[in-house]
Amino acid sequence: MGGSRSAPGVDSLPKVPVGPARSSRMAGIGGAAGQLAKPLLPRRDAPWVPSPWAALERPRGTSRTINPPHPRRHGTAAMAAMLACGALLGACRNQAQAPARPPLSVQVEPAKVARFGDVLNTVSTLEALSEVNMATQAGGRILRLFVRQGDLVRPGQPLLVLDQTQTRADVARLEAEMETKKLNYMRFDYLVSQGAASPIQRDQLRQDFISTRMNLISRAADLGFRDLRAPIAGIVGDVQVKEGDVVQAGAPFTKIIRNDRLVARIDVPAVFSARLRPGLPVILMDPASNRPIAQSMIRSLDPAVAAGTQALLAKADFANPTGLLRNGLRTRTTVVLDARDQLSVPFAAVTQISGQSFVFVAGSLAELAQRPGQAQLDTLRNLPPSTLFALQTPVLLGPLQNNRYPVLAGLKPGQNVITTNLINLRHGLPVRLY
């Protein structure tokens, strides 16, 4: 067990120890395997030498014939390896010669100064300066109705005609009654002068005569209100009566409204009362698009705060030449408490990453070289000198107003910020303007 064996008929084989020491044997096997890892092509005139690996693996006391490797197999393997390497080198050469990606097309907008303000957003109700509730001064049945909702009327234009047959009958009755009481008074006045009647009776008849005459005058005046006419020019509102209806005196049945000038009743929280004053700008916002539609100034302030709502009433007059605003409309209203001019960028140019605001500035290669980041400057220097690059720039912004952000830090006036294709941009990417 402690000796060594050699393959019969082989004098050049290395001596490999065989024994219980397994570690020594494994070391010998590893050395032989290292020699086999280098294939050698034998010469045709050289004698074949068996592999030492075969001698180590042959069982004791047996003999085994080992066929030599065929030289053609080694040649085929080497040829395949050379072809594979050639194909790989060709692919790398083609990839290196592939055309570069064209610059990304973007639009830019310069950072410019815009007006921003400390604003208060609230709600206001619009009221027409000229609004008249129409009602008849005398009761009666409507004989004719000349207007309907939405009609434009002029001052003095007839609105309706009342059937006053009953009123005329009352006037005729009162006229006859007055004449009778007048005669009775005159008769007793003569009798009193003759001492045939009491002055008290005469005075009572005189009082009845005067009362009847006053009733006649009042009832006769109702005949003058047979025609109801428009007191102002405007638009007729909802007409709540129709021909044949009986109306009572003083009961409104429609309105005439002029919407050319409106007053906004603005409810301002009382905590802002110290900052309010007449003359502050007021902007009405369109309820549909939330865009400014009219602008005016505060005309007056209520001296008291509403106890229930703790709101201070402010009023502002608005011209309405187009008729877009209407009486009774409730709309969002902005009161500008303070205003200032500041550098700004459009909303479309801003991106947010982990709470930090960024914009992409279209700059030159020299500007990119000042803060290259991960851009490959050596490759980018091969581009034309006029090429622009997307420079990701952190900025500090204020609250959004009128679709623009005020820039507190990070940009200079006139720098062009990219407003399109932001999702495809990265720092140092070549871009072109369109």
Which CATH number characterizes residue 317's domain? 2.40.30.170
Domain for residue 324, yes or no?
A: yes
Considering just the CA atoms, what is the radius of gyration of the chain in Å? 54
Angle at 160 between CA 156 and CA 165, to 5 degrees: 120
Is the residue at 80 inside a domain? no
How many domains does the chain contain in total? Answer: 4
DSSP code for 180: H
CB 264 within 8 A of CB 316: yes
In a domain, 225, yes or no: yes
- Whether 378 and 350 share a structural domain: yes
pLDDT of residue 345: 95
Same structural domain, 168 and 210: yes
Same domain, 350 and 271: no
Considering the domain architecture, whether residues 167 and 247 belong to the same structural domain is answered as yes
| Strand (E) or helix (H) holding 38 | none
Within its chain, how far is the Cα of 245 from the centroid? 51
94 in a structural domain: no
Q: End-to-end distance of the chain based on CA atoms, in angstroms?
A: 89
Distance CA 62, CA 335 (A): 109
Determine the Cα–Cα distance for residues 129 and 155; give it in Å rounded to an integer. Answer: 16
Identify the domain containing residue 20 by its residue range. Answer: 4-67
Does any domain span residue 99?
no
Q: Are residues 231 and 330 in the same domain?
A: no
Question: Which residue is associated with the tokens 């004719």?
Answer: 144
Domain identity same for 419 and 380 = yes
Judgement on whether residues 333 and 356 belong to the same structural domain of the protein: no
Q: Which residue has the tokens 């140019």?
A: 349
What are the mean pLDDT values of the chain's consecutive 10-residue runs (434 residues total)?
Answer: 42 45 42 43 49 45 47 53 54 46 89 89 92 88 92 93 83 91 90 87 91 88 82 93 90 92 93 91 87 92 91 93 88 90 94 93 91 87 90 93 91 93 92 89
Domain stop point among 340, 366, 398:
340
* CB-CB contact of 335 with 278 (8 Å): no
Residue 434: the pLDDT is 84
Give the model's pLDDT for residue 88: 52
Tell me the pTM.
0.51
Q: Is residue 9 part of a domain?
A: yes
Q: Do 386 and 351 sit in the same domain of this protein?
A: yes
Give the end of a domain, one of 228, 252, 276.
252
328: in domain = yes
Residues 244 and 386 in one domain: no
Q: Are residues 389 and 288 in the same domain?
A: no
- Dist CA 188 CA 206 (whole Å): 9
Cβ atoms of 141 and 245 closer than 8 Å: yes
CATH classification of the domain holding 360: 2.40.420.20
Determine the pLDDT at residue 167: 78
Statement to judge: residues 350 and 418 lie in one domain: yes
Same domain, 144 and 245: yes
269 domain-assigned: yes
The residue among 320, 340, 360 that closes a domain is 340
Burial class (CB in 10 A: 0-12, 13-18, 19+), 48: exposed
